Amino acid sequence: MTSKEQVHPGFFRSVGRFLSAARAVTANILFLVVIVVLLVLVFSGEDRVAVPDGAALVLNLDAPILEEAPRPEPLELLFSGQDSARPIEMRDLMHALERAAEDDRIRALVLDLHRFPGAAPATLNSLGKALGEFRASGKPLIVVADNLTQSQYFLASFADQLYLNPMGQVLLTGLALQPTFFASGLEKLKVNVNVFRAGEYKSAVEPFLRDDMSSEARENAQQLINEIWHSIRAQVAGNRGMSPEMLDTLIEEQPQRLRSTRGDLALLALETGLVDELLSRDAGRDRLIQIVGRDQAGETFRQIGHRDYLRDALVTAASRKKKDARIGVIVAEGTILGGEQPRGAAVGEPTVRMIRKARQDDGVRAIVLRVNSPGGSAFTSELIRRELELAQVAGKPVVVSMGSVAASGGYWVSATADRIFAEQDTITGSIGVYGLLPTFERSLASLGVYSDGVGTHTLAGAGNPMQPLNPALADILEQRVAQANRQFMELVARGRDMDLADVEALAEGRVWSGLAAHELGLVDELGGLASAISQAAALAGLERWDVDYLEEPPSTRDLILERMLNSYAGRSLMGNAPRGPWQGLSRMSRLLGEPILNLDRLLEADQLQALCTACTIR
């Protein structure tokens, strides 16, 4: 090839640069197109979902029920891809039921419990009351079930018509409170757990000190579950038209009675009046079709899921003019921890900021704090309580509404409110403080690892987990715990207008049902969130008001994710609940993991704990 025929090297570089630029431009254009399409798909769909005339509202309880649901993370959304990955907020259920009772388009309510994972007694009681109020509208409540656990059956018992699959079962067991204990395991690992507590009933640290319940904790726990079971059995028995004693007898005599039906639990449920009729899935579907008619496709009964129904409600609410006066509702859901905490997962600095914002907002005339927390950091609990007190000083009434649990730190934040409301099955009290500091010198010594050194003062190096607990530090921690516990009781005495001696007699870490707490003066009224809101309005002198759930605004990313979640279709009513060998393993991991997670929370630096770790009833 001659020199004239050779192509200059710069030519290839120019072509390469052109191709690279073209590729980058094309990729950017495609990326923008994908983003635009995604946004169009998310935001351009119909906001209002058509509610069929004469339809059944399907309350699909396919996820845990919380006062406030955590916002979804992108990976969680990616891998779950289903609506059930996100917990259901109690206020959504309440709103759907209240609206449906007055909605002429809704002819009946169908309660879908196939995937309901259960809930705490107070949560069940609150939802049960709402179901009862819906029934008072004259519209039927229907349950078609395959199998019913005790939690599921509590809600199903409110139904006008309760149908069970002939191959199904109803298994009632009563209540249990069964903490997991680690003392022997920690001893084998040669871990020293140093505990500083106030109150002989403060059982939160027992799992790390013992292999069983102390007599004081056992006495308190037995009293608690007996009171809550008395409430549950009275409600279920009343719903099914039997005596409470008969329900106890059915539970105790299940093995003997089952022999008469040759092991057929479904037949036993029918014969004992626990269900109204045995129907297969297809027969149950036909029965629902008879009540509300067929859908447009002619495949099943005419229906709308509660999530779609709530979308319709949101559009209606958005078009309504807001009132000038508002009751600000702030939700405290989860363990109380220091610092920034995600929405619905734990309580921390964001709660303090929201209370302050409500105090400074002239449109918010009163504050309702909805507490669903076993407590946690005593320091953060006091930050929240103090912010509420500043709102009271500013002339805004503060009312606390207790959910399933408002114990220890959950009671601390409530103590000085103007009024405290609780459900009769709320777990509350646990007035007491403790500190916990493990050391690992024996564990490390067994591996041939030791710690030694020098210091300028007695306390120098105190808190080193590789050495035995410094006696001077132990003395300081004991005094701190005693002081914080004394402060806790003084707050309760001042807030509930009680003598300090009376508070001391009720404290020592004991837990109470909401009913018992009301009788003892720790709670002012028995009632749910609606009652607390009405009381707040009355204290503020309001005749007309709007309810405003106050929370920190989500990011644009969170808004898109929530819109995507809300756009997913609900699951089929007659779908199968997840089953299989992994269920037992999953339950075991929860039983072991929760106490370990609590221990991790207890080890927050410089934090005394007001936490009830034995408040989970199964």
Contact 235, 182 (CB under 8 A): no
Q: How many CA atoms lie within 13 A of 468 on its CB side?
A: 2
Assigned token pair, 190: 């040669």
Q: CA-to-CA distance for 49 and 4, rounded, in angstroms?
A: 73
Of 381, 408, 443, 513, which one is the catalytic site residue? 408
Number of neighbours of residue 196 by Cβ within 10 angstroms? 20
357 included as an active-site residue: no
Q: CA-to-CA distance for 59 and 93, rounded, in angstroms?
A: 8
Q: CA-to-CA distance for 111 and 137, rounded, in angstroms?
A: 16
Of 202, 203, 373, 401, which one is the catalytic site residue? 202
Nearest partner of 539 among 548, 531, 550, judged by Cα: 531
Contact 540, 362 (CB under 8 A): no
Q: How far apart are the first and last CA of the chain?
A: 88
Q: Which amino acid is at 33?
A: V
Exposed e or buried b per residue across 446-479, where buried means at least 16 C-beta atoms within 10 angstroms of its C-beta? eeeeeeeeeeeeeeebbebbebebbeebbeebee
408 included as an active-site residue: yes
Angle at 478 between CA 476 and CA 480, to 5 degrees: 70
Assigned token pair, 594: 């929760």
Considering Cα of 545, then 550, then 556, then 557, what sign does the dihedral take? negative
- Residue 114, SS3? coil
Q: CA-to-CA distance for 586 and 32, rounded, in angstroms?
A: 42
Nearest partner of 287 among 275, 296, 279, judged by Cα: 279
At 469, phi and psi to the nearest 5?
A: -60, 130
Instruction: Please report, for the chain, how many H helices and E strands are present, in that order.
Output: 22, 22
The residues, ordered by sequence, that sit 6+ positions from 574 with a Cβ below 8 Å of its Cβ are 114, 144, 281, 284, 285
Assigned token pair, 282: 């297809």
Contact 470, 459 (CB under 8 A): yes
At 520, phi and psi to the nearest 5?
A: -90, -5
Nearest partner of 151 among 267, 232, 245, 244, judged by Cα: 232
Q: CA-to-CA distance for 190 and 447, rounded, in angstroms?
A: 11
Q: CA-to-CA distance for 603 and 78, rounded, in angstroms?
A: 33
Which positions are catalytic? Answer: 202, 408
